[in-house]
Amino acid sequence: MMKIIRAKSYQDMSRKAANLISAQVIMKPHCVLGLATGSTPEGIYKQLIDWYNKDDIDFSQVTSINLDEYVGLTHDHDQSYWYFMQKHFFQYINIRPDHIFVPEGANLNADEVCRNYDRIIQRFGGIDLQLLGIGVDGHIGFNEPGSAFELGTHKVRLQESTIQANKRFFAHEEDVPKEAYTMGIKTIMQAHKVLLCASGTAKAAILREALYGPVTPQVPASILQMHPDLTVVVDQEAGACLPQEDADATA
């Protein structure tokens, strides 16, 4: 079942999404969160840190298993997703360091990295809540258009549009890694709950296609239509192309 929550602004989207994550942690303190990097979740992490500082949320029993990582970047590389998570979230909260997982970007043995990661997800009993952004090409994690739906963690080549979208973070375009490790669509679909967030005009068209268009590997996020517990939080711009009746139903 899909539920769409409309937010007024990026900040409002962040607060509404953080609320859902907070509810998950309160309901099940030892839950497993599938977390994501990117501009979209930054505000969510800020909000969660704020509530943590007010003693409203406790991460001491939470496990975090991140979606993806660039191949070849070490933890201390300032564009690695490990670094991003520390910088924007983990350093401020009381999550246990041994409960933080990000695919091992520095290990170039893809089979080993991916097998280990799937084992970790199994060992912790699967993901309770998976947070997702969406790429302008419809990707989730680094599952680019054409990705098979039945994959677990695997190595991918990044789409040119993804390299273009991410080059703003690197000194030179050629510094953007061309490959990544990512949880597969199968892994994402096995999460008990999925929370997809989107902000800004650039996401409006792809969001409509993903949520109301045909379910096809050409739009990886479209598979989420089949997820039994999907919540989508959009700000006004990102939600601009979604059918109006959803706005009325959730206003």
Known catalytic membership, residue 137? yes
Number of residue whose CB is nearest ligand PGA: 38
Query: What are the structure tokens assigned to 56, written together?
Result: 């409203």
Give the alpha-carbon dihedral of 37, 40, 43, 47, to 10 degrees.
-70
Active-site annotation holds for 68: yes
d(CA 220, CA 138) in angstroms, rounded, equals: 6
Question: Phi/psi zone of residue 114: left (φ > 0), alpha (ψ -120 to 50 degrees), beta?
Answer: alpha
d(CA 186, CA 188): 5
Catalytically annotated residue among 99, 139, 154, 227? 139
Least separation in angstroms between residue 94's CB and ligand PGA is 25
Q: Which is nearer to ligand PGA, 39 or 122 (by Cβ)?
A: 39
Helix then strand count (H, E) for the chain reads 8, 10
Which residues within the stretch 131-190 sit at the binding site for ligand PGA (CB under 6 A)?
133-135
| CB distance 142 to 156 below 8 Å | yes
Q: Does 43 bind ligand PGA (CB under 6 A)?
A: no
Our answer to whether residue 144 is catalytic in this structure is yes
Known catalytic residue at 111: no
- Smallest separation (angstroms) from ligand PGA to the CB of 71: 16
Q: Cα dist. 77→4, 96, 100, 144, 233 in Å? A: 36, 21, 17, 24, 31
Q: Closer to ligand PGA at the Cβ: 2 or 136?
A: 136
Provide the mask over 10-39, with x wherever binding to ligand PGA is found by CB under 6 A and - wherever it is not. ----------------------------xx
> Per CB under 6 A, which region of 110-118, 127-135, 169-177, 241-249 contacts ligand PGA?
127-135
Enzyme catalytic residues: 68, 137, 139, 144
Residues that bind ligand PGA (CB under 6 A): 38-40, 133-135
